[in-house]
Amino acid sequence: MRSFVWFALVAATLSNAAPSKLSALKVKEEIAHPRGWVKSHPAPADAIIELRIALPQSNFEELERHLYEVSDPFHTRYGQHLSKAEVEALVAPHPESIHVVNEWLASHGLYEHELTRSPAKDWVRVSVPVGLAEKMMDAEYHVWVNDKDGDTIIRTTKYSVPEDVHDHIELIQPTTLFSNLRGMDTTFRFTDADANVQQVSPNVPPISVPSASGGKVDASCNQTITVSCIRELYNAVGFTPSGKDGNQIGITGYLEQFANIADLQLFFADQVPAALNSTFKFISVKGGLNNQSIEAAGAEANLDTQFAFGLTHPTPATFFSTAGRPPFIPSVGSPTNTNEPYTDWLDFVLSQRTIPQTISTSYADSEQTVPVSFARRACNGFAQLGARGVSLTFSSGDGGVGDGDPDPATQECFSNDGRNITRFDPLFPPSCPFVTSVGGTIHIPETAVDFSGGGFSNVFPRPSYQDVAVKGFLNKLPKGTYAGLFNPDGRAIPDVAAQADLFRIFLSGRAVSIGGTSAAAPTFAAIISLLNDARLSKKQKPLGFLNPLIYALAREHPKAFNDITVGNNPGCGTPGFNATKGWDAITGVGTPNFGVLKELVTSGF
């Protein structure tokens, strides 16, 4: 405790110190002209942007060691997750970094009362006019226009900081971040769901699936996926969570996607009658809304919340709505948020003492549009949540081995580094090794769905927990397959899979059918939440960061996951990767068998 007090006193003292003369500016980051964006006019000098400054996390390697120890089912520390204070102590910057960055900001008239710091002091946020940002960083901000959707943002392709400040700043944004966060629902698959339901004859015999509950799945599930279908297929029939053992589940919402409560009640009446009149806790992040007008209902938000909360009722549920989305519209005024909003969500949730043990996200973007420095830093934020015992699932994408765009005609698979060479394009954050990436299947018996995102990161190296499984897959590939199109040493995605198409949800008062790995991620998250409930009911710890456990169980207990061996995920003008025995780059280790998993995770494996 004494060291924390000393740290606070030093930081407070240095923040008020008179600025000293700083060294000459040196380029911190520079990128090529970003693909898909057109430079327009110079940004208005008086437009306000919020600079996010990342200070080096002094002991992240130690936090990573803790994370892997508490997440390894064969380690003596398994389940002994860190506290909020312990995590913050490990990522706190060195006092010298705080001092040096404070001096630099003060030299431009920015003092402590104008700054906002993260709880660990590793992020500093300050709102400044574009003109001042350009002076501080020797940068030229312009309005950039996305050539697909016309969205506009303020960015620069190069920025600098004083040379003696370089080692005390990891990155500053918004500068070189040209990503375009999107939801993963494949909206072109919308159909009227009622027609599908009526086509199924009650006389059709159930489908035989040995790993399913009772070995059978209702035949209607081959045309329409409901909560009952998921429970039958993944062997979860008959399990009802406590709802009172402290277990929680959360869904994140971005880009003005609102979860409609009236639609949720229609869904409950249709598929989970016991849940009627129950709802979720709404948490606004940075002014996020949850507009309840019928016209504002979001397909992504409704899909995620209806299935995640329907499968886990009566587990307390939370919907996080994070405000902020590009574009900046010059004719309207200054932007209110020019950062990717999931970092705002990370800021918020890391500051909370109590966090849902399972959280699912169905939003991502092409990995290559995210600067490496930013991707690594955001990924470190997910690691902090894992160390605190939170399981994070992300949709792997809906573009096969491509950039997430489900339409082959508009899918771009060219490198974003100025070379414009053909390259498979995985998505971030699913490519972060500290989250669980969920691919997709279809039909019963299950096959890989063709749009399921999969492949290999060009930013993150393959983590050790994947070595055996992924090397086995690579060794099966014919020599020279897609040589140069992917990084065989990269973090491989997805980790697991779940059903991802023909989901029956309610949207704006009517039943519709929808697909996408945005269906798979909350479905898999719901199964994890049920497993957490089983553990918490026995006074055991939540599962936390899942991946070391997933790969260990897939290796030691093959029946824990249903191996998918049929299908492929075309993209970038290729057939993509094939599903095969063991791990593959379309369905991971397979889909969950809840009954087997429950016995394993509650009995010490």
Partnered with residue 253 across adjacent β-strands are 321
Question: Which of 29, 122, 170, 304 is flagged as catalytic?
Answer: 304
Give the residue from 414, 412, 424 showing the smallest Cα distance to 454: 424
Residues in the chain: 605
Specify whether 304 is catalytic.
yes
* 149 marked among binding-site residues: no
Question: Which of 232, 518, 529, 533 is flagged as catalytic?
Answer: 518
Asked if the bond preceding 542 is cis, omega within 30° of 0, the reply is no
Instruction: Say which amino acid occupies 407.
Output: D
* 329 marked among binding-site residues: no
Q: What is the C-alpha to C-alpha distance for residues 590 and 438, in angstroms, rounded to an integer?
A: 9
Residue 39 burial (CB count, 10 A): 14
Residue 11 burial (CB count, 10 A): 18
Q: Is 76 helix (H, G, I), strand (E, B) or coil?
A: coil
**What torsion do the CA atoms of 82, 88, 89, 90 make, to the nearest 10 degrees?**
70
**What torsion do the CA atoms of 380, 381, 387, 393 make, to the nearest 10 degrees?**
-100
Q: What is the C-alpha to C-alpha distance for residues 75 and 69, in angstroms, rounded to an integer?
A: 6
Q: Both tokens of residue 35?
A: 């693909």
Helices assigned H by DSSP within 92-152: 95-106, 130-137
Give 60-63 contacts, CB < 8 A, sequence gap 24+. Answer: 60/90, 60/91, 60/380, 60/383, 62/90, 63/87, 63/90, 63/91, 63/383, 63/384, 63/387
Alpha carbon 595 to chain centroid, angstroms: 27
In the chain, % helix, strand, coil (3-state, to 5) comes to 35, 25, 45
* 563 marked among binding-site residues: yes
Q: Both tokens of residue 357?
A: 């043990």
Q: What is the C-alpha to C-alpha distance for residues 463 and 456, in angstroms, rounded to an integer?
A: 12
Partnered with residue 225 across adjacent β-strands are 503
Specify whether 122 is catalytic.
no
The phi, psi pair for 441, rounded to 5°, reads -125, 170
Question: Which of 300, 344, 450, 495 is flagged as catalytic?
Answer: 300
Q: CB–CB of 451/398 below 8 Å? A: yes
Asked if the bond preceding 314 is cis, omega within 30° of 0, the reply is yes
Partnered with residue 436 across adjacent β-strands are 393
Q: Both tokens of residue 511?
A: 């039943």
Specify whether 103 is catalytic.
no
Give the residue from 183, 161, 41 showing the smallest Cα distance to 104: 161
Q: CB–CB of 360/308 below 8 Å? A: yes
Q: Residue holding tokens 């014919």?
A: 478
Alpha carbon 284 to chain centroid, angstroms: 18
Q: CB–CB of 209/445 below 8 Å? A: yes
Q: What is the C-alpha to C-alpha distance for residues 462 and 90, in angstroms, rounded to an integer?
A: 24
Q: CB–CB of 139/175 below 8 Å? A: yes
Distances (CA, A) of 167 to 53, 365, 372: 13, 29, 17
Kindly give the pairing relationship between strand 317-322 and strand 281-285: parallel
- In the annotated binding site, the residues are 563-564, 582, 584
- In the annotated binding site for Ca(2+), the residues are 563-564, 582, 584
Active site amino acids: 300, 304, 518
